[in-house]
Amino acid sequence: MKTIVCILFLAASLISCTNEKNTQYQWYKGNTHCHSTISDGDNPVKKVIKSYHDRGYNFLVVTDHNFLVDTDTVLYDEPLRNDFLLIQGEEVTDQKSVHTTALNISEYVRFSNDPNQEKDLQKRREEITTALRTEVNISKSEILQMHVDGIRKAGGTPFLNHPNFADGLQVEDIFAVTNLHHMELYNGHPYVYNWGKEEHISVEAKWDSILSRGHIMYGVAADDMHNLETRSEKDANPFRGWIMVKSKQLTPHAIQAAINNGDFYSTTSVTLKTCEMNAKKCVIEVDPITTMNEVKTSLSVPRIDETGEEGFLIEFIGQGGKVLAQKAGIKARYKLQATDRYVRSRITYCEKTESGYEKRFAWTQPVFMN
């Protein structure tokens, strides 16, 4: 196992997208949530890793349910690129549909009533299934807090996964948890209801509600791949959502530190040329060529609306999810006002098809005034 160093969160005034003028930094494309046959994916871990490698990703976290895959033990038919990194992880999977990504952990993190006894893989699967069917008399917040504490103890960074999956977690469930600063804003699984459902507002609206209370929370996009080769909108396919991390180095420590600091943006296809978000100014510029290539070649599933305007739209969003400013086109800027508690940007690419107005997105992390 790799040595892991805990990264402390910096103050809320941190820049969320690094200044473009600092040439020491590079953008790295990565996915933080996917599965192999070790849990409920349909392909072996070696094939999963090779798929993201061949797709041009720079880093990958394999997060099998309640299993920690030692990526150092995976054998490949041919060497991997030098600019491709494996980061150890796990999806801590628990009662009441509470699932949490454990990014860059040094040891296995247990779920709430995990007996953690059987070592044989098949017996371990049976043990986990039995334990998860045994109800525990604790709240969703308490379960999530246990995950967060265990992940941090193992040197990792916790992400709350798909808050609208199954029974889901409400804003109050999430807000009650301490030391949690990342949640999946977008998840590519077809049954997680990113845009909301009965009794649950959209995940983006939940994010704004948490931010509006003054809590630092960063939004992550991931594909949650389970089905590598069978391709349809009803399958949990790869390459539907990812993050672009700004870092000086491509190492587990450096990527984790950048993610901890909110030095990344999330996307379902839209790629940025400039992402400069700080207390003085917010500047966003789209890379239209790379974006259109992602739209054509990725497996992203757009949100389909009845109305829309074709092209790019850049919005700056603040307290309560209010749109503070917006501009059609590939470049826009916003100057923070004294009354702004936080500002984030949402960038939309919209095209009209027979299905309606198909929309794909990128989301920056919030920058805080205080």
Query: What strands lie across the sheet with 331-334, from one edge to the other?
Result: 272-277, 282-286, 331-334
The answer as to whether 7 is a domain residue is no
Do residue 180 and residue 35 come from a single domain?
yes
Q: 222: domain CATH number?
A: 3.20.20.140
Do residue 236 and residue 275 come from a single domain?
no
CA distance 137 to 271: 44
- pLDDT digit string, tens, across residues 298-342: 899 999 999 999 999 999 999 999 999 999 999 999 999 999 999
Question: Do you know the residue count of the chain?
Answer: 370
Do residue 75 and residue 151 come from a single domain?
yes
Do residue 83 and residue 29 come from a single domain?
yes
Is-contact 101 32, C-beta < 8 A?
yes
Do residue 363 and residue 336 come from a single domain?
yes
Residue whose tokens read 């949990």:
236
Residue whose tokens read 């539907």:
240
Q: Measured in Å, how far apart are the chain's first and last C-alpha atoms?
A: 39
Do residue 149 and residue 252 come from a single domain?
yes
pLDDT band for position 23 (cuts 50, 70, 90): low
Out of 267, 302, 326, a domain closes at: 267
For 63, residues 6+ apart whose C-beta sits below 8 A from its C-beta are 32, 33, 34, 35, 89, 90, 91, 101, 102
Out of 209, 242, 267, a domain closes at: 267
Beta bridge partners of 360: 349
Out of 213, 241, 267, a domain closes at: 267
Do residue 304 and residue 243 come from a single domain?
no
The answer as to whether 356 is a domain residue is yes
Give the SS3 label for residue 265.
strand
Do residue 345 and residue 223 come from a single domain?
no
- pLDDT digit string, tens, across residues 44-91: 999 999 999 999 999 999 999 999 988 888 888 889 999 999 999 999
- DSSP 8-state class, residue 34: B
Q: What is the number of other CB atoms lying within 10 angstroms of the CB of residue 152?
A: 17
pTM for the full predicted model:
0.92
By residue range, what is the domain housing residue 292? 270-370
Q: Say yes or no to pLDDT of 20 above 80.
A: no
Do residue 157 and residue 178 come from a single domain?
yes
User: How many structural domains is the chain composed of?
Assistant: 2
Residue whose tokens read 């709240």:
139
Do residue 84 and residue 154 come from a single domain?
yes
In one-letter notation, the amino acid at residue 284 is I
